[in-house]
A and B are shown apart, each in its own frame.
Chain A
């Protein structure tokens, strides 16, 4: 469920980066305050452990397919919320950099989806409440399964929201939710059972490891509120700023492949607000007219336009002259870029 750069808008990506950045700074500060530097090597090694565990496939009973674990809940249970969040952040970052899972802009989204929900929601509010200070096999089973399922559900839902808000994909909200949630319910259930088995194994073999994590103080009410308020502000601020910068194309309806250049930039601020408002309205309205497109204004290129092309009233009309220029230009650009690459390579080789 890695979110991809290709699917998000700068506003969503930036907002999630801000949220993740705030959480990272907060967790780092908390960790420093706990003065538990013993955790730093442990975090690194456990991160590497999750990484290795993800590479091992196991068969999913009754389906004939195989899967691997995510491991977010295991880290939260073993390390406590703050250290686990940082560890998950670094695991996701390495995946983005080395295996091209997601991307750098989507990294904020991915860390948030896979880190925030298990560490700051599922762990303190579900696992801690169920397992408490006196773990038993039954409680561990119930607590880890429930928290893994719910953590993954929230993560999947957040993927849906990020995708819908970005509006690069055409999938309507309701369809996407119906697609994502059931799949992740199944995944979450398997993940939960595995998590409880691993945690149970550790608890039986070396109970003191679990106590290490329990030492980390659970988040009090006050700081949760602070975090959420801070998060909300950071998110809103970045989203606002970025959508101001980003939306020269206000509603994503404008056909701009062959537009003549340079006209929209001057009106950017007003369009930004407009766009933000409209995207809010669009996404809250959820369904029916999502794929209904207003005709974009016909572009008025400098080259003389042939009016007889305006046959179809519902579709935006692009003048033939402009589209030919666009296609020719696109082809030349690609050839030029390719040639440049070859030339640079040959020059290097000859050196």
Chain B
């Protein structure tokens, strides 16, 4: 399957997950957006040598994946495929920072390795938070929440249109690429010249389509706003969701829970 089609399937997959009905999916989109932001800020605010402090935060993705009935393997697969930029940059840390910070018996761990693992953990936490947000909320609902949170209207309307037309245009693109590959039997990759005119052609079709869409929208009374039938209601459960998670994040940030737990356990066994 071509990359275009698999990417489309991928996006569709997240939307299908978002169409479920679970306690997490029922929360108001605003609650989920705010909680996800609080989570990410908490994660990145940890010191770069702090590993154990980050661990309790795994509670958030784990609980949401479990209660939201999301397939963990599918999400993990997406995580692994995600942009490797953080890893490429992070892998320099062990080379550059060789101060020994921790000794476990004879083995000395350098600060670089610790901060590298910390980058990995941060990556897992933050990226899974974004994926979970979409797969428990759905893209349009996120846009709606953003509108209510005072993000400029032009941007959110445009986000929804963009999202809608990705599927249409990407299918068009994939048809064009297929047509090219059927005719260009010997060349396996497109030359820049062919690519430019193919993309230019796609662009012209896109512009024509935009004009037709605009006329169709005008004739149906479009005035620059998109109205959604689904009402948003921020109830007690939503407030509780935000407050409870935020309280947990603050707690996990303020005191090193694993450390306390370890001390308690060792105190008992001693």
Interface residues of A (CB under 8 A from B): 1-10, 13-14, 24-25, 27-29, 31-32, 37-38, 40-49, 51-53, 55-61, 66, 69, 74, 78, 86-87, 89-91, 93-94, 96-105, 163, 167-172, 190, 193-194, 197-198, 201-202, 205-206, 209, 245-246, 248-249, 252, 254-262, 265, 290-291, 293, 296, 301-303, 309, 312, 314-316, 318, 321-330, 332-334, 337-338, 340-345, 348
Give B140 Cβ to nearest chain A Cβ, in Å: 12
> What DSSP secondary structure best describes chain A's contact surface?
helix
Complex Cα–Cα for A290 and B98 (A): 12
**Contact flag A330-B55 (CB < 8 Å), given A28-B152, A98-B134:** yes
Complex Cα–Cα for A98 and B131 (A): 7
Asked whether, in the complex, the Cβ of B123 is within 8 Å of the Cβ of A4, the reply is yes
Asked whether, in the complex, the Cβ of A318 is within 8 Å of the Cβ of B162, the reply is no
Asked whether, in the complex, the Cβ of A332 is within 8 Å of the Cβ of B262, the reply is yes
Which chain A residue has the least Cβ–Cβ distance from B150?
A25
Interface residues of B (CB under 8 A from A): 3-4, 7, 10-11, 14, 22, 36-37, 40-41, 43-45, 47-53, 55-56, 58-59, 62-63, 65-67, 69, 78-79, 81-83, 85-86, 89-90, 92-93, 95-104, 108, 111-112, 114-115, 118-120, 122-123, 126-127, 129-131, 133-134, 139, 142, 151-155, 157-166, 168-170, 172-174, 177, 189-204, 206-207, 209-211, 213-214, 217, 224, 254-263, 265-266
Give the chain A neighbours of B51 by CB distance below 8 A. Answer: 257, 330
**Contact flag A2-B85 (CB < 8 Å), given A209-B207, A327-B262:** yes
Asked whether, in the complex, the Cβ of A86 is within 8 Å of the Cβ of B158, the reply is yes
**Contact flag A52-B161 (CB < 8 Å), given A100-B82, A257-B49, A316-B101:** no
Give the chain B neighbours of A99 by CB distance below 8 A. Answer: 7, 10, 78, 82-83
Give the chain A neighbours of B169 by CB distance below 8 A. Answer: 45, 48-49, 51-52
Give B136 Cβ to nearest chain A Cβ, in Å: 12
Asked whether, in the complex, the Cβ of B90 is within 8 Å of the Cβ of A6, the reply is yes
Give the chain B neighbours of A172 by CB distance below 8 A. Answer: 96
Asked whether, in the complex, the Cβ of B266 is within 8 Å of the Cβ of A45, the reply is no
Asked whether, in the complex, the Cβ of B82 is within 8 Å of the Cβ of A324, the reply is no
Asked whether, in the complex, the Cβ of A58 is within 8 Å of the Cβ of B191, the reply is yes
Complex Cα–Cα for A327 and B109 (A): 14
Complex Cα–Cα for A172 and B97 (A): 11
**Contact flag A245-B134 (CB < 8 Å), given A86-B155, A90-B158:** no
Q: In this complex, which of B47, B195, B209 has the most chain A Cβ atoms within 10 angstroms of its Cβ?
A: B47
Give the chain A neighbours of B168 by CB distance below 8 A. Answer: 48
Complex Cα–Cα for A28 and B157 (A): 11
Asked whether, in the complex, the Cβ of A86 is within 8 Å of the Cβ of B4, the reply is no
Complex Cα–Cα for A24 and B139 (A): 20
Asked whether, in the complex, the Cβ of B102 is within 8 Å of the Cβ of A255, the reply is yes
Asked whether, in the complex, the Cβ of A206 is within 8 Å of the Cβ of B207, the reply is yes
Asked whether, in the complex, the Cβ of A93 is within 8 Å of the Cβ of B159, the reply is yes
Give the chain B neighbours of A40 by CB distance below 8 A. Answer: 154, 157-158, 161, 214, 224
**Contact flag A5-B40 (CB < 8 Å), given A323-B104, A329-B260:** yes
Asked whether, in the complex, the Cβ of A170 is within 8 Å of the Cβ of B83, the reply is no
Given A69, A245, A252, A330, which contacts B48 in the complex, CB threshold below 8 Å? A252
Which chain B residue has the least Cβ–Cβ distance from A10?
B45
Asked whether, in the complex, the Cβ of B50 is within 8 Å of the Cβ of A5, the reply is no
Q: In this complex, which of B99, B152, B153, B259 has the most chain A Cβ atoms within 10 angstroms of its Cβ?
A: B259
Asked whether, in the complex, the Cβ of A170 is within 8 Å of the Cβ of B259, the reply is no
Complex Cα–Cα for A315 and B114 (A): 14
Given A7, A97, A318, which contacts B142 in the complex, CB threshold below 8 Å? A97
Complex Cα–Cα for A334 and B61 (A): 13
Given A9, A42, A329, which contacts B44 in the complex, CB threshold below 8 Å? A9
Which chain A residue has the least Cβ–Cβ distance from B180?
A56
Give A161 Cβ to nearest chain B Cβ, in Å: 14
Asked whether, in the complex, the Cβ of A61 is within 8 Å of the Cβ of B191, the reply is yes
The 5 listed contacts between A and B (C-beta, < 8 Å) are A40-B154, A41-B217, A48-B169, A261-B260, A334-B58
Give the chain B neighbours of A202 by CB distance below 8 A. Answer: 200, 203-204
Give the chain A neighbours of B10 by CB distance below 8 A. Answer: 98-99
Give A344 Cβ to nearest chain B Cβ, in Å: 4
Given A7, A58, A205, which contacts B192 in the complex, CB threshold below 8 Å? A58
Asked whether, in the complex, the Cβ of B40 is within 8 Å of the Cβ of A38, the reply is no
Asked whether, in the complex, the Cβ of B45 is within 8 Å of the Cβ of A246, the reply is yes
Complex Cα–Cα for A66 and B224 (A): 40
